Chains A and B, each alone.
Chain A
């Protein structure tokens, strides 16, 4: 089973190639995509179970030899990437099915499924990479897929701008990762994770350099996972089709940054400064994005900010040495956030708007979607018995037992805010008076093909937390600890009050939202009335985009104008001169080529004589 793991990325690639080459009609395209991504998922599940028996495996072959250095390509199966493979292929499979219904009216459905295939291939390739170079190649590929899919509705100006923005902002992070990778290669002489870890362990890399490398690699992770201050692209990425938001911008690709930090955990662990950086960036991102999420009115944007916030949580966990906590939350989040996005998509599908102010009382019309959205909301809020409760609890414990009390406090507040804004969403959309936009005549529940994937995710959003609990055992943690490197897996005991506090705050947040938006006991414009400045600041997302536009974007534009004119007048001048010179030589040569055979002989003689004369003069034979 493990030996055929290489097929996992091959199936979706095949789907991409088939769809691109043969351009089948819409239904058949969806069929091909669903079947192949399904095969990929079942194989991934098989590999996961096989991994329990066979343990970690690594297969690689030499790809290039440069001097004495071999650069290899291959695949590695260890607990972390076996788990990631299952998450990626499962969510991809479900999103494929969902898109069959959601995109049914789109003319470019074939291309959509082709892109999904390419993305799944790249993402699966990313998580099985046993070396940094291969990871980097797939890292860029998923970025390219993200670009294609955000800009899928390329005729919308916002979608185009969002695609560009996502590409450029993540690129800033990628440059960091690239430099970090080169530095690492320079220091260690290998891209292999194993070689890197053993070199770090032996102390082959000097302390400051190590910290520098770790932070550069983390900058790459920040770009991909939308960490402050490189988060601005992620909310805008919601211009893409909603299934894409669920797959790429909630469950899998944005988690790649978290995965990168987890996969290179020994490197970060060796540098306390880097760990602190990760934890602080994660903590700030968590609360920062949560506050913005409080006041947004676009259903997908609220969820996007919540994704940024939850990714911040994961980083906070990893930075606090909570390896298991971070990976655990990555998994549960993938399920409940994909569920929330798909449910939001189902709502948008029904009412054709994303503005929550135009929605209301949809519970009666969309009771399946509503129930599932409620499950997702309870899970993300960390209400006990739902998956988010267990993983968030682990994160808070990790932060607390690592002694990062300020960050712990931020995490606790964020938990409260999260519960509040998610239920604000829930109450506004599903409770209250029935509203519908004027253009929509009848509101219908989504077709079964869309509901089925949501039901699967709904079940997982509840049960996936039970793989790692203090009540039934920490299976996931024990298993992850058998990874290729030693992971400190200790469960913070002693702080028995943390789960209670977290649950209390979650329920408090829900209650507050209920009072404000369902019972209307508290005026919901309380914040904008009493503190209009704060409300405006949050509504405008702390003016980060405006700040970037006025500083970086404008600065770059001015800079580029300068180089534009430099290029136009100086570089092109030189080029024109060179081209002109070549032309003149060509013309002169062609003119000498008169067709007169005498000329040809004369030129040969003249050449001979010229050589002789120069030789005689320089050789000193004429005195």
Chain B
């Protein structure tokens, strides 16, 4: 590749990534040269500015045609823009939370900030790659940064344990993913997703369709680690509980979004026209498409995830652990559009992730503040919150109601969309929808239990009364606006998707 080809690429498409990488580098250099006793809050502001700049650039890119760079390894289409939006907004909120996170717990503030940025960079690369090698690199960049972030409370045993478990389980999942990818490469000799897609229609593949399905499940189950769904969900509670709260928020929102991005990207591109199981019927033997063959399996995994997440959450006493199981359950809901192969899979997933972003981040913001005041992450810490600080209690109620999917909140609209996507396909998925409703009802127990604590239990004596920090209150306000606003006027985000993102680009050959 000579310089001319290199220069002929539309590098502008990668501008948001460039901004993030430059900011991350800048932060690490600043951290190195700034005196040790100097406050690192400046770094947070620079990082935040970088994210906002990347967001602004992303907005200017809306509506542009597809950009592909470097032999189609980098691909910027509506799908990547839509999901990068969630990744960037989510990380910006996490930054606001981390600025006010206890200085006592994390001494290495500089690392704290630029590791978020490198993780974000990995996630963004996952959103706009069309090559399994770059996808894998992006995935690992996100994962390795997250492993360190989980253990940043160096003197805290729980945090260390969380990091350790995260690394080990992440290693297993990476191995499984690579094993699956190696099968795919072995069959096709290609790494580009679209070339693989074409190659999978060849006769060699048709004769060995079982191995392709095998490769599919290796890939899917390996990737399910990132979104914490069954059977790869068990790390989540321990890691969420042990990690610093902003990191937990990052894992449950940004990392999970990236997981869904890579799952949708690989599965729907690679396997869209791959052959699946043989079906015997009157006219003879036919081969059904792979995506149809695996539908029942993904449905069962989604249902298991919903049941496990919601049922175990009831028994939790630690609020972060409870939210971890709740996030497992939400990942189960998010698998429903994929499992039902709805035509609206992108819209439904995107909307739910946006709603999930607002309500979960809001909840974590409240948790962070209450935990700092009460020096406890137990659910009892919320007792009598209504008396201590009514605004905080009311905001938490809004987020919990939205997580539970009560009407007039974004969570309801998101669930409704997913629900309709399960029933809107030619073959209607009643069982999936029924399990979704049943487990949603189960979730009322533990969400409302917190509200019972806040409103009806006598309060704890105020130990460390703190003013709500600016960052936290800013996140709270935005999340409340998002949660209630999108709940009452769901037309705004839905129209926004309609106007700016043409998800058909996803399938357009380069």
Q: Is A620 touching B221 in the complex (CB atoms < 8 A)?
A: no
Name the CB-closest residue of A to B232.
A604
Report if A548 contacts B (CB, 8 A): no
Report if B230 contacts A (CB, 8 A): yes
Q: Cβ of B442: which chain A residues have Cβ within 8 Å of it?
A: 582
Report if A67 contacts B (CB, 8 A): no
Q: Cβ of A438: which chain B residues have Cβ within 8 Å of it?
A: none
Q: Is B210 touching A604 in the complex (CB atoms < 8 A)?
A: no
Q: Is A586 touching B210 in the complex (CB atoms < 8 A)?
A: no
Q: In the complex, what distance in Å separates the CA atom of A595 from the CA atom of B158? A: 11
Q: Cβ of A605: which chain B residues have Cβ within 8 Å of it?
A: 172
Q: Cβ of A597: which chain B residues have Cβ within 8 Å of it?
A: 164-165, 168-169, 235
Partner of A608, one of B168, B221, B235: B221
Report if A557 contacts B (CB, 8 A): no
Q: In the complex, what distance in Å separates the CA atom of A595 from the CA atom of B71? A: 45
Q: Is B221 touching A586 in the complex (CB atoms < 8 A)?
A: no
Q: Cβ of A585: which chain B residues have Cβ within 8 Å of it?
A: 307-308, 311-312
Q: Cβ of A611: which chain B residues have Cβ within 8 Å of it?
A: 217, 221, 297, 301
14 A-B contact pairs sorted by A residue (CB < 8 Å):
A586-B312, A586-B313, A586-B315, A593-B234, A593-B312, A597-B165, A607-B232, A611-B217, A615-B297, A619-B210, A619-B277, A619-B278, A619-B293, A620-B278
Q: Is A607 touching B312 in the complex (CB atoms < 8 A)?
A: no
- 20 additional A-B pairs beyond A604-B232, A619-B210, beta carbons within 8 Å, are A583-B314, A585-B307, A586-B312, A586-B314, A587-B315, A589-B308, A597-B235, A599-B234, A600-B234, A601-B169, A603-B234, A604-B173, A604-B221, A605-B172, A607-B221, A608-B221, A611-B217, A611-B297, A615-B210, A621-B210
Q: In the complex, what distance in Å separates the CA atom of A188 from the CA atom of B164? A: 68
| Chain A 85-106: CB-based contact to B (< 8 A → 1; otherwise 0) | 0000000000000000000000
Q: Cβ of A58: which chain B residues have Cβ within 8 Å of it?
A: none
Q: In the complex, what distance in Å separates the CA atom of A614 from the CA atom of B173? A: 21
Q: Is B221 touching A601 in the complex (CB atoms < 8 A)?
A: no
Report if A558 contacts B (CB, 8 A): no
CB distance from A593 to the nearest CB of B (A): 6
Q: In the complex, what distance in Å separates the CA atom of A593 from the CA atom of B442? A: 20
Q: In the complex, what distance in Å separates the CA atom of A255 from the CA atom of B313? A: 56
Q: Is A601 touching B172 in the complex (CB atoms < 8 A)?
A: yes
Name the CB-closest residue of B to A601.
B172
Q: In the complex, what distance in Å separates the CA atom of A582 from the CA atom of B439? A: 9
Report if B351 contacts A (CB, 8 A): no
Q: In the complex, what distance in Å separates the CA atom of A476 from the CA atom of B312? A: 72
Chain B, 218-267, CB within 8 A of any chain A CB: 218, 221, 225, 230-232, 234-235, 237-238
Q: In the complex, what distance in Å separates the CA atom of A557 from the CA atom of B169? A: 62
Chain B, 274-306, CB within 8 A of any chain A CB: 277-278, 293, 297, 301
The binding surface of chain B is classed by DSSP as helix
Q: Cβ of A601: which chain B residues have Cβ within 8 Å of it?
A: 168-169, 172
Q: Cβ of A595: which chain B residues have Cβ within 8 Å of it?
A: 238
Q: Cβ of B214: which chain A residues have Cβ within 8 Å of it?
A: 612
Report if A25 contacts B (CB, 8 A): no
Q: Cβ of A599: which chain B residues have Cβ within 8 Å of it?
A: 234
Q: Cβ of A586: which chain B residues have Cβ within 8 Å of it?
A: 311-315
Report if A547 contacts B (CB, 8 A): no
CB distance from B187 to the nearest CB of A (A): 17
Q: Cβ of B213: which chain A residues have Cβ within 8 Å of it?
A: 615, 619
Q: In the complex, what distance in Å separates the CA atom of A56 from the CA atom of B47? A: 64
Q: Is A608 touching B210 in the complex (CB atoms < 8 A)?
A: no
Q: Cβ of A593: which chain B residues have Cβ within 8 Å of it?
A: 234, 237, 312
Report if B379 contacts A (CB, 8 A): no
Q: Is B231 touching A604 in the complex (CB atoms < 8 A)?
A: yes
Q: Cβ of B164: which chain A residues have Cβ within 8 Å of it?
A: 597
Q: Cβ of B169: which chain A residues have Cβ within 8 Å of it?
A: 597, 600-601, 604
Chain A, 539-595, CB within 8 A of any chain B CB: 582-583, 585-587, 589-590, 592-593, 595
Report if A406 contacts B (CB, 8 A): no
| Chain B 430-459: CB-based contact to A (< 8 A → 1; otherwise 0) | 000000000000100000000000000000
Q: Is A608 touching B217 in the complex (CB atoms < 8 A)?
A: yes
Q: Is B218 touching A608 in the complex (CB atoms < 8 A)?
A: yes
Name the CB-closest residue of A to B296.
A618
CB distance from A125 to the nearest CB of B (A): 23
Report if B196 contacts A (CB, 8 A): no
Name the CB-closest residue of B to A594.
B234
Q: Cβ of B176: which chain A residues have Cβ within 8 Å of it?
A: 604, 608
Chain A, 162-210, CB within 8 A of any chain B CB: none
Task: Rank and list the top 10 A-B pairs by shortest CB-CB distance, nearest first.
Answer: A607-B231, A600-B234, A589-B312, A585-B311, A586-B311, A604-B232, A586-B315, A597-B165, A608-B221, A601-B172
Q: Is A590 touching B168 in the complex (CB atoms < 8 A)?
A: no
Chain B, 116-163, CB within 8 A of any chain A CB: none
Q: Is A606 touching B172 in the complex (CB atoms < 8 A)?
A: no
| Chain A 136-172: CB-based contact to B (< 8 A → 1; otherwise 0) | 0000000000000000000000000000000000000
